[in-house]
Structure 1
């Protein structure tokens, strides 16, 4: 199969965003769009997407909030190249940085990400449980999808380091791993807002979206769950707006 045939071009945000991605393997979907919708930023903010992949979450956020200074951090050079091309194809200004999120402070600084330099971090870390998920034999792809015991803590630590005081981190994770999220955020973060995401009404949540503030002191807020497949249709209109980039999720501080 040729390189062109190995790729697809897919529409997101109701056609506002068109992204090239590989036909096989992990593909961009709901998680990245929900992460973008859960992230608050303002024009002029420096926003960094950790583990950006082909750029989906960061570019979707830039579509909703024009004028952010976007950085796309991705350690797989092939995916980083796709992210760079996707930003250019959608006329979105973005800096693509080939970098392992678990790298040390000196490596981050040499790539333009010194401590206390970023307003907003969003991230979708590898979160598959290795005990229940058979990862790819390719080491890069395995690391991109399967979490170790250190993964979440390492990514949160990197976010805490680059964020300015009162900067915000937004992340998505498995719902059954919420205890790990709270533990990772217990050092240096506060003012948490937690949004459970349910695949079906009446079923346990499958994801949690969490917003945390560096140095925040406000009480934790547990928000009403988001239903992705509500048979009653009550929330379908609002969900459509969110998935099309016309509305944000309620994780910002009141």
Structure 2
């Protein structure tokens, strides 16, 4: 193995997701994939042949998890950090998933998006896990990459949703995950151009306040908002619920029937 490749491999780990069916190389330090990306994939509707664009792909966790569930996608993963984009490209190849990875600042204008092939009104699905921690209440990591991936600016949400609205065709679906206490901000950002909003609240335990919201919205729809059955990650005993286990193993989509304890 060349010296540069040995150094890169030493700075990464190889981790299993979806019950080990999806193997991802990711940095030892900095932003690392977790439950949020898998939950986002589970809450993203897609069919074979759909053009799917993931904004802020990182090492490709959400997009590749979605493609593991739904074959035949035209998958594009956009990531700001070249190092993470390189890992996303490796991960797609290593898992045998066709995908195109591009380096892109999601908040850049239409010309920058078009320059990497993301023309307006062309995507069937956009999924994204934007940086969402409030800088006023969250102490940013000293690691620059981790800080960029986690801490939002005052305009982050609005800019990312604007980019999704531009990329999606009429009737296309936006799927995103955000912190639960920012629900009002999400609804305000979706007010122009989106309808058929569907929300799933994610709780650490069902009796505790939600910690995340999973949101789907359809470009150009006038259908009313719906709230799906909530997802509790853990039961009263502190162990993962049956639904959480099924979702994280890639065996259940969201919103899910409320038949799991």
State the TM bucket, normalised to the shorter chain.
over 0.9
Q: Which moved more, 1:237-246 or 1:26-35?
A: 237-246
CA positional deviation for 1:132 = 1.7
What's the counterpart of residue 69 of structure 1? Answer: 74
Any idea what SS the aligned residue of 2:10 has? coil
Task: Provide the TM-score with structure 2 as the length reference.
Answer: 0.92
What's the counterpart of residue 172 of structure 1? Answer: 177
CA positional deviation for 1:235 = 8.2
The reply on whether 1:182 has 2:184 as its aligned counterpart is: no
> For the structure 1 residues 149 and 237, does the alpha-carbon distance in structure 2 shift closer, same or farther, using more than 3 Å as the test?
same
8 Å contact kept, 2:31–2:145: no
Any idea what SS the aligned residue of 2:205 has? coil
Measured in 2, the distance between the counterparts of 1:239 and 1:138 equals 30
CA positional deviation for 1:137 = 4.7
Measured in 2, the distance between the counterparts of 1:225 and 1:137 equals 34
What's the counterpart of residue 151 of structure 1? Answer: 156
Question: RMSD in angstroms over aligned alpha carbons?
Answer: 1.8
CA positional deviation for 1:186 = 0.4
The reply on whether 1:22 has 2:27 as its aligned counterpart is: yes
Residues 97-123 of structure 1 show CA distances to partners (whole Å, capped at 9, x for unaligned) of 100000100111111011101000000
Q: Please, which runs of 5 or more residues in structure 1 have no aligned partner?
A: none
What's the counterpart of residue 139 of structure 2? Answer: 134
CA positional deviation for 1:139 = 4.8
The reply on whether 1:58 has 2:63 as its aligned counterpart is: yes
Q: Which moved more, 1:4-13 or 1:184-193?
A: 4-13
What's the counterpart of residue 226 of structure 1? Answer: 231
Measured in 2, the distance between the counterparts of 1:148 and 1:236 equals 34
Which residue of the other structure, out of 196, 205, 226, is the alignment partner of 1:191?
196
The total of aligned residue pairs comes to 251
The reply on whether 1:162 has 2:167 as its aligned counterpart is: yes
Which 4+ stretches in 1 moved above 6 angstroms? 232-235
Residues 177-222 of structure 1 show CA distances to partners (whole Å, capped at 9, x for unaligned) of 1011001100100000000000112100000000000011111001
Residues 205-245 of structure 1 show CA distances to partners (whole Å, capped at 9, x for unaligned) of 00000000001111100122110001369982232221111
Q: Please, which runs of 5 or more residues in structure 2 have no aligned partner?
A: 1-5, 257-261
What's the counterpart of residue 3 of structure 2? Answer: none
CA positional deviation for 1:144 = 2.0
Measured in 2, the distance between the counterparts of 1:232 and 1:66 equals 37
Measured in 2, the distance between the counterparts of 1:233 and 1:92 equals 35
